[in-house]
Amino acid sequence: MRKLIILSFFALLLVSCARNNHPNFVFILVDDLGWADVTCNYPESFYDTPNIDKLAEHGVRFTNAYAANPVCSPTRAAILTGKHPNRVNITDWIPGLDPKMKPLLGPQDGTELALEEITIAEKLKETGYKTCFVGKWHLGDEGFFPEDQGFDINFGGHDKGSPPGGYYSPYKNPKLEDGPEGEYLTNRLTSESINFIKNNKRNPFFLYLSFYTVHTPIQAAKDYINHYQTKREQLGLNEVPIKAEGDGWTHLVQENAAYASMVAAMDENVGRILNTLEELGLDKNTWVIFTSDNGGLSTLRGKNAPTNNGPLRAGKGWCYEGGIRVPLIISGPELTNPGRTEDSPVISMDYFTTILNIAGTKHDGNDGENLLPVLTENKHLTRDELFWHYPHYHGSAWKPGSALRKGEWKLVVHYENNKTELFNLAEDPGETKNVSTLFPEKTQELKSLLDEKLKSTNAKFPVSNPDYAPKD
Q: Domain with 239 in it: what CATH number? A: 3.40.720.10
Q: % helix / strand / coil in the chain, to the nearest 5? A: 30, 20, 50
Give the span between the Cα atoms of 59 and 50, in whole angstroms: 14
User: What strands lie across the sheet with 286-292, from one edge to the other?
Assistant: 153-155, 130-135, 205-211, 24-30, 286-292, 328-331, 60-62, 341-342
**205 DSSP 8-state letter:** E
Tally Cβ neighbours within 10 Å of residue 219: 18
Task: Give the domain range for residue 187.
Answer: 22-383
Question: Is pLDDT of 404 > 50?
Answer: yes
Question: H or E segment at 389?
Answer: strand 385-390
CA distance linking residue 373 with residue 118, whole number of Å: 24
- Cβ proximity of 416 and 392 under 8 Å: no
Rounded to whole angstroms, the Cα distance separating 76 from 74 reads 5
Across the strands, what pairs with 342? Answer: 62
Which pLDDT tens digit goes with each residue over 150-169?
999 999 999 999 999 999 99
Domain count within the chain: 1
pLDDT tens digit sequence for 172-219: 999 999 999 999 999 999 999 999 999 999 999 999 999 999 999 999
Is the pLDDT confidence value at 6 over 50? no
Average pLDDT over residues 228-236: 97
Residue 66, φ and ψ in degrees, nearest 5: -130, 150
Q: Quick one: which H or E segment has residue 3? A: helix 2-21
Residue 150 domain-assigned (yes or no): yes
36: pLDDT strictly greater than 90: yes
Q: Is residue 301 one of the residues assigned to a domain? A: yes
pTM confidence score: 0.95
Terminal C-alpha separation, the chain: 92
Question: Residue 4 pLDDT more than 50?
Answer: no
All residues at 6 or more sequence positions from 375 whose CB lies less than 8 Å from its CB, including other chains: 60, 330, 332, 334, 335, 336, 354
How far CA 163 is from CA of 67, 92, 247, 353, in Å, comes to 22, 19, 28, 30
Residue 210 has a pLDDT of 98
Q: What is the pLDDT of residue 21?
A: 77
Cα–Cα nearest to 359, from 210, 207, 204, 130: 204
Q: Where do the DSSP E strands lie in 5-86?
A: 24-30, 60-62, 65-66
Residue 369 has pLDDT above 70, yes or no: yes
Task: Kindly indicate the confidence band of residue 472, based on its pLDDT and cuts at 50, 70 and 90.
Answer: low
pLDDT > 90 in the chain, percent: 92
Checking if the pLDDT of 11 tops 80, the result is no
Flag whether pLDDT at 357 surpasses 70. Answer: yes
| C-alpha–C-alpha distance, residues 30 and 347, integer Å | 15
C-beta neighbour count of 342 within 10 angstroms: 21
In a domain, 105, yes or no: yes
Which amino acid, residue 147?
A: E
The answer to the question of residue 450 being in a domain is no
Neighbours of 345 (CB within 10 A): 23
Give 65's contacts (C-beta < 8 A, 6+ positions apart): 291, 325, 326, 327, 328, 345, 346, 347
| Alpha helix (H) residue ranges in 35-183 | 50-57, 72-81, 85-88, 120-126
How many CA within 13 A on the CB side of residue 207? 31
Q: Is 182 left (phi over 0), alpha (psi -120 to 50) or beta?
A: left
Residue 323 lies in a domain: yes
